[in-house]
């Protein structure tokens, strides 16, 4: 007969092979043999979390930590469960405890970087990603995350350098190709941007991120029909992609294809009624079509929502310009 740790070890093997249900059964058998097996409690929580059962997983992590408060792994896992449910402050506290116990814990550092990103602390997240890359200099996944963080904090040249390093190791890396295509688009180097985005699409024609930025690239150089074609292809692949559908509507509006633009915006707003960009351009479209009360109502709803983004500001300015009297 197996003892608790043998069941636990077999559960780990089964989980790593992809058989989550069998792993769960073995972790429970381990706990039947020894209900104070902290490792089995932690592993059972992790297997539950992999299926999105965050609250149930949290209970097992807490039980594990009650038996072994110095388990960096259980602190990290509990933090991830808390973050998944929006409890960011508590998650941060557990991650900081985990990193105090094991400062070079890669799972702890990675979770900390993602938490900092989720809470808008981008410079701090950038520092943590850099720390991870120092620990794992040849890991492509972490270098891509660092490049993304560099771009998000405005270090475009440095981000380009990191993406190029990834392509040196893996010439067909999709994330690096799309990343470079996007960064050169930001710099308005449309030719180089197209080169990288088309390389990505030659390798993966259904890469909707590459198609999206190629469409935006075409808009930047005045090729509206080509932009429309790319955005329409995205919607064939991902009909629920409301940002792409909104951008398609904006292009159609610019080309004065009002009925087609209205159809796209109606579909977006049926899916996400408060999407600021769609609300704003729906108001613009109504104004152009001389539906003044409808335009004003939409603009006021955007301002009244109190969410200060670029379309909130656009709506305020539009109201002041056209509806001030």
Write the DSSP symbol of residue 274. T
Mean pLDDT, the chain, whole residue set: 92
> In the CATH hierarchy, which top-level class contains the domain 138-238?
mainly alpha
pTM for the structure as a whole: 0.82
> Where in the chain are the domains?
138-238
User: pLDDT category, 255, cuts 50, 70, 90?
Assistant: confident
Instruction: State how far the alpha carbon of 299 is from the alpha carbons of 35, 242, 274, 294, in Å.
Output: 59, 20, 11, 9
Nearest-angstrom CA–CA distance, 88 and 251: 39
Nearest-angstrom CA–CA distance, 205 and 156: 26
pLDDT digits (tens, 9 = 90+) for 272-320: 999 999 999 999 999 999 999 998 999 898 888 777 778 888 888 888 8
* Backbone phi, psi, residue 256, to 5°: 65, 30
User: pLDDT category, 141, cuts 50, 70, 90?
Assistant: very high
What secondary structure does DSSP assign to 133-200, as a single string? HHHSTT-HHHHHHHHHHHHHTT-HHHHHHHHHHHHHH-TT-HHHHHHHHHHHHHTT-HHHHHHHHHHH
């Amino acid at each position: 007969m197996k003892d608790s740790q043998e069941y636990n070890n077999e559960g780990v093997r089964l989980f790593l092979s992809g058989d989550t249900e069998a792993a769960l059964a073995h972790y429970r058998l381990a706990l039947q043999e020894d209900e104070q097996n902290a490792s089995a409690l932690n592993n059972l929580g992790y297997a539950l979390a992999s299926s999105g059962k965050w609250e149930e997983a949290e209970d097992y992590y807490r039980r594990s930590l009650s038996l072994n408060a110095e388990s960096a792994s259980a602190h990290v896992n509990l933090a991830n469960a808390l973050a998944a449910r929006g409890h960011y402050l508590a998650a941060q506290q557990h991650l900081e405890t985990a990193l105090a116990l094991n400062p070079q814990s890669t799972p702890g550092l990675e979770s900390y970087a993602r938490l900092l990103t989720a809470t808008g602390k981008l410079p701090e997240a950038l520092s943590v990603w850099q720390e991870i890359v120092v620990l794992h200099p040849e890991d492509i996944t972490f270098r891509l995350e660092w490049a993304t963080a560099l771009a998000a904090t405005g270090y475009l040249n440095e981000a380009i350098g990191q993406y190029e390093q990834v392509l040196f190791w893996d010439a067909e890396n999709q994330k690096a190709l799309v990343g470079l295509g996007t960064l050169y688009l930001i710099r308005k180097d449309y030719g180089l941007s197209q080169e990288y985005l088309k390389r990505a699409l030659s390798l993966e024609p259904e890469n909707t991120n590459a198609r999206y930025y190629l469409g935006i690239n075409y808009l930047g150089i005045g090729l509206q029909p080509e932009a429309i074609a790319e955005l329409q292809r995205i919607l064939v692949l991902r009909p629920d992609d409301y940002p792409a559908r909104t951008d398609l509507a904006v292009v159609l509006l610019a080309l004065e294809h009002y009925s087609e633009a209205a159809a796209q915006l109606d579909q977006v707003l049926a899916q996400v009624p408060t999407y600021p960009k769609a609300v704003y351009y729906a108001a613009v479209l109504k104004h152009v079509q001389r539906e003044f009360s409808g335009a004003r109502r939409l603009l006021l709803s955007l301002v009244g929502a109190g969410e200060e983004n670029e379309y909130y500001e656009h709506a305020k300015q539009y109201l002041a310009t056209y509806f001030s009297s």
